[in-house]
Amino acid sequence: SIVNGNEIFAAARKGHYAVGAFNINNLEWTRSILAAAQETNTPILVQTSMGAGKYMGGYELCLNLVQQTVKSMGITVPVVMHLDHGNYEAAKECIEVGYTSVMFDGHDLPFEENLEKTKEIVALAHAKNISVEAEVGSIGGEEDGIIGEGELADVEEAKKIAATGVDYLACGIGNIHGKYPANWTGLHFDRLKELADEISTPLVLHGGSGIPKDQIQKAISMGVSKVNVNTECQLAFADATRKYIEAGKDLEGKGYDPRKLLAPGAKAITDIVRERIDWFGTPSVK
Ligand code: G3H
Ligand code: ZN
């Protein structure tokens, strides 16, 4: 069933494990991710970025897709339907449409404005029993061809955002969206410790693709309860699809049929998600 994230992530923080949050782009992504959760009998969060929402034809369609897929696949584990990195308008729209969780990402606004808008989104969302994620500091990533580390979350600012009642909090701790550069020095565990010591809100690790397993697990043991993974599923899908085509399988019989052509990539996504669920230590639901 589709549920909000409150209890799932609060329990994760208390239990020192994490629940994975995986981005979807289409039917195959949705089915592949849900299949891994059902196989492992663990809760999962599926999320659409604003770009994916636009690509798929709107947030209402995304929500319907997930709801109907959950139903048709007979998914029984808890599924959270989340907006990833939403601006103020997108967060409001997803609250209207009926997502069970939204991220309002105001990290690029002046801090006071991020705080005010986070408060507004929390009030709107909580009135409808919808969970909220906010962001402090910034997640690194590529800009003008250069991969930056982002800005580490300031502990005092993070405390103020946490005090708005957000259900989970994304903090910059040296994590980066997309591929990590070869000279990346790792997560800033000293900052994570300062944040986790002061804040009981479940913390979110963005840019989960390409962080070594031991660092992810250390971060989880310290207070990270939600790990976002996107790029790794994309790379796995592309790799499996390339192998299929390079092996000439699309030219054998009806190998060009999209239901065959997309199958190896879809399976590769399920494999990655299943492995990450294991890394994160997500316990089975009873
Ligand atoms: O919000 C989405 C995630 O932070 C994904 O990051 O593509 O580096 O795994 P990633
Ligand atoms: Zn992110």
CATH number, domain at 10? Answer: 3.20.20.70
CA of 46 to the centre of ligand 2 (A): 13
Residue 96 lies in a domain: yes
Ion ligand 2: residue ranges with CB closer than 5 A: 206, 228
Confidence of residue 232 (pLDDT cuts 50, 70, 90): very high
Residue 84: CB within 6 Å of ligand 1? yes
* Assigned domain for 21 exists: yes
Ligand located closest to 276 CA? 1
Q: Is residue 248 part of a domain?
A: no
Q: What is residue 125's three-state secondary structure?
A: helix
Residue 170 C-alpha to ligand 2 middle, in angstroms? 8
Non-local (6+) Cβ contacts of 30 within 8 A are: 24, 46, 65, 66, 69
In total, how many domains does the chain have?
1
Taking the CA of residue 177 as reference, the ligand 1 atom at the shortest distance is 8
Q: Is residue 124 included in any domain, yes or no?
A: yes
pLDDT for res 143: 79
Q: What is the mean pLDDT of residues 51-77?
A: 98
> Is residue 67 very low, low, confident or very high in pLDDT (cuts 50, 70, 90)?
very high
ipTM above 0.90, yes or no: yes
Residue 56 has pLDDT above 90, yes or no: yes
Best residue among 101, 231, 233 to mutate for probing ligand 1's pocket (most ligand atoms within 8 Å of CB) is 231
Domain residue limits at 95? 6-237+272-280
- Give the pLDDT mean for 26-51: 98
Inform me whether the pLDDT recorded for 6 exceeds 90.
yes
Which atom from ligand 1 is nearest to the alpha carbon of 228?
3
Query: Residue 113 domain-assigned?
Result: yes
**Quick check: 81 and 101 in contact, CB under 8 A?**
yes
Name the pTM for this structure.
0.98
Q: Which of 158, 173, 170, 176 is nearest to 83 (CA)?
A: 170
pLDDT digits (tens, 9 = 90+) for 204-213: 999 999 999 9
242 assigned to some structural domain: no
Rounded Cα–Cα distance for residues 94 and 50 (Å): 10
pLDDT digits (tens, 9 = 90+) for 114-163: 999 999 999 999 999 999 999 999 999 987 888 888 999 999 999 999 99
